[in-house]
Structure 1
Amino acid sequence: MNDRAPQPGKPQDIQILGEKTRYVVVRAEAADTRGWLQPGSVCDLLSQHHISHAGIMLAEPPFKITRVDLSGTFLLSCFEGEGEVLADGGWKRIKAGQTCLQPPFVLNSLRCVPGKHWHFAWVRYRESREAAPIVSALSPLTGAQDPIPLRAAVEGLHAESSGDRSLAALHHWCELIHHHVLRFAQPHQPDSRLWRLWQRVEADLSRPWTLGQLAAITCVSEEHLRRICRKEIGRSPMQHLTFLRLQRARLLLCATDDKVETIAHAVGFESAFSFSNTFKKWIGWRPSEYRVSQRP
């Protein structure tokens, strides 16, 4: 495996797999010539769901992967051991039985915990900035989910795409993989109180929302709102408010020529300075850098 070490300067992709790390991967396009994908198989049916690749990683330290501008939604489901994912500006521990969902076009980073292995299945999409992503206002960041179905589906797709290549079987495995992601990212029966809350908040992101106001809309105590948010979406209410603000800011940075200060106020930040610092921490770039990186 050819590892890539980080270079000084601007944020760059990092790929440190390590000698003991092993993986299987299926990619959608034979023309995708990235070196680490070459040992895998190819199934162009993945493209029907805009999936770039899916696989199973048996990661061992010093495993670390960073993608500065992930071009699609990323789901990771751990079935053994534990590791860490950089999300919402901090490292979050993901253990067996837990799943993590990352939105597109943000900094994405994974790493092993020193001295511990980390075994997980993953699915990575390739999405257009003009289309609605899989991740929505009610999509969880982390949560409990049985990882075995996804692992089995990826193993089945890899075996079929490396062997007989029956179109019916390939279609079956691809559908199961995509369904597993949608079941986590777009729950069919989300807590209706949270649905009403975040619908109200998204319509008025410039408002200086407080935890008390959010709890009042939901008709629960502040502590109870914290508990149901942690359970349903893997964030505190105020963290999710920040997530929604930054998602809107990303769209405004790409779709308008508004000044950074104007966008900061439009999504509820008191100053361009606090907006820029939060954007950098959560997304990986300063707002002005992000705007330049997204323009053709």
Structure 2
Amino acid sequence: MGWPEYFEISDQCRSTIIDQAQLVALEKHKIVQCGINYARDSFTIYRRNPNMHMLLFTCNGKGWLDTPSRKWHLVPNSVMYVPPGHENGFGIDHQDNDDESWDVAWVMLASEGHWEDILPHGVTYSDTRCADLLRQTIDCLHQSMSLPYPVGHELGENLVEQIRLLVSHRLPTSNPTPLQRLDKVFSRAQEQFHRNWQVSELAALHPCSEAHFHRLCQQYYGHGPMSHLTRLRMEYAARLLSSTEWPIQHICELSGYPNPANFSTRFKKWSSLTPREFRRRFKY
């Protein structure tokens, strides 16, 4: 399949690109480029004879990668690796992707040097726990470049080393995909514990029906979605009670309980102690 060099990128796409010309620290580890693509609407790239190792870490949305022998569908928390010399094309996967989006962190590595001994010899696709962490690291690296010397320089050196570690190991997850998706839903809820979450809203983040969301929570957590959310809220409140001097009223509200009496009842049921008793016993 003789693909031409081709790309089609919508005006709605955003990208961050960092290369060796901008940051010398990348050259030390034979990292030619790294970046983040927030692909929207239309995003397609075909490459005939790439001369670098390419890794695509899917963070959100869905993508695809095509080679002469096979096509892969790329989902969140996965990494796609393509060695030098393998023609390929990649872009947004519009199938079951209502937002028509694909957020991907990518790294291009020099074809010569130590990467030949670390990376696979063929095209590979696997799950990973590193995708979003790599995205955040590249974002921090981009921001560090605007900081004055020596802070920006030292921070950049450390962040490039972190990129090297994440790419070298890629850390596959041992959790089944449905559990990964559930954990991601509740991680999103944890960012807004103060919000009055409803099961319908949590199910929509998955996305699936409320009934199916209930079944998944029962299967993987052993209880329903609101029970799981309550446990996460209690654990969060316990950490704040033991590690801060914040007023209990404030901790109630941050944990999603504007009524202190209701919070105290829930907390005692969970820990066998009132919030004040818990703080006295476990204060750091």
User: What interval of TM-score do these two structures reach, taking the shorter chain for normalisation?
Assistant: 0.5 to 0.7
Quote how far apart the aligned CAs of 1:15 are: 1.9
In the alignment, does 2:46 pair up with 1:66?
Answer: yes
Letter in 1 for 2:18: V
Quote how far apart the aligned CAs of 1:134 are: 3.8
Quote how far apart the aligned CAs of 1:163 are: 3.1
In the alignment, does 2:1 pair up with 1:21?
Answer: no
Q: Any residues of structure 2 matched to 1:144-223 within 5 Å, and which?
A: 144-164=128-148, 166-184=152-170
Counterpart contact for 1:63–1:112, Cα < 8 Å: yes
Report SS of the residue matched to 1:132: helix
Quote how far apart the aligned CAs of 1:59 are: 0.4
For 1:132 and 1:53, locate their aligned partners in 2 and report how far apart those are by CA, in whole Å.
17
1:253-290 Cα offsets, whole Å, 9 max, x none, are xxxxxxxxxxxxxxxxxxxxxxxxxxxxxxxxxxxxxx
Quote how far apart the aligned CAs of 1:135 are: 2.1
Quote how far apart the aligned CAs of 1:184 are: 2.3
In the alignment, does 2:102 pair up with 1:118?
Answer: yes
1:208-234 Cα offsets, whole Å, 9 max, x none, are xxxxxxxxxxxxxxxxxxxxxxxxxxx
Counterpart contact for 2:109–2:115, Cα < 8 Å: no
Letter in 2 for 1:184: R
Deviates more, 1:116-125 or 1:165-174: 165-174
1:92 is aligned to: 72
Check 1:129–1:146 CA distance in 2 against 1; reply closer, same or farther (3 A cut): closer
1:12 is aligned to: 4
Q: How many residues align?
A: 167
Counterpart contact for 1:51–1:125, Cα < 8 Å: yes
Deviates more, 1:64-73 or 1:132-141: 132-141
The equivalent position to 1:132 in structure 2, one of 93, 109, 116, is 116
Check 1:174–1:130 CA distance in 2 against 1; reply closer, same or farther (3 A cut): closer
For 2:52 and 2:118, locate their aligned partners in 1 and report how far apart those are by CA, in whole Å.
9
Counterpart contact for 1:16–1:63, Cα < 8 Å: yes
Counterpart contact for 1:99–1:145, Cα < 8 Å: no
Q: Which runs of 5+ in 1 are unaligned?
A: 1-8, 30-41, 187-296
Quote how far apart the aligned CAs of 1:168 are: 1.3
Quote how far apart the aligned CAs of 1:130 are: 11
Counterpart contact for 2:7–2:45, Cα < 8 Å: yes
1:48 is aligned to: 28
Q: Any residues of structure 2 matched to 1:222-237 within 5 Å, and which?
A: none
Report SS of the residue matched to 2:145: helix
For 2:143 and 2:2, locate their aligned partners in 1 and report how far apart those are by CA, in whole Å.
40
Check 1:71–1:168 CA distance in 2 against 1; reply closer, same or farther (3 A cut): same
Q: Which runs of 5+ in 2 are unaligned?
A: 173-284
In the alignment, does 2:93 pair up with 1:107?
Answer: no
2:127 is aligned to: 143
Report SS of the residue matched to 2:162: helix
Check 1:162–1:88 CA distance in 2 against 1; reply closer, same or farther (3 A cut): farther
CA RMSD of aligned residues (A): 2.9
Quote how far apart the aligned CAs of 1:87 are: 4.3
Deviates more, 1:118-127 or 1:81-90: 81-90
Report SS of the residue matched to 1:111: strand
For 1:88 and 1:105, locate their aligned partners in 2 and report how far apart those are by CA, in whole Å.
12
For 2:121 and 2:85, locate their aligned partners in 1 and report how far apart those are by CA, in whole Å.
16
Counterpart contact for 1:73–1:134, Cα < 8 Å: no
TM-score of the two chains, using structure 2 as the length reference: 0.53
Quote how far apart the aligned CAs of 1:72 are: 1.4
Quote how far apart the aligned CAs of 1:11 are: 3.4
| Higher RCO (Cα < 8 Å, 6 or more apart) | 1
1:231 is aligned to: none
Larger Rg: 2
Counterpart contact for 2:3–2:47, Cα < 8 Å: no
For 2:159 and 2:113, locate their aligned partners in 1 and report how far apart those are by CA, in whole Å.
27
Quote how far apart the aligned CAs of 1:156 are: 1.1
Letter in 2 for 1:169: L
For 2:117 and 2:67, locate their aligned partners in 1 and report how far apart those are by CA, in whole Å.
17
Quote how far apart the aligned CAs of 1:104 are: 1.5
Letter in 2 for 1:24: T
Check 1:162–1:15 CA distance in 2 against 1; reply closer, same or farther (3 A cut): farther
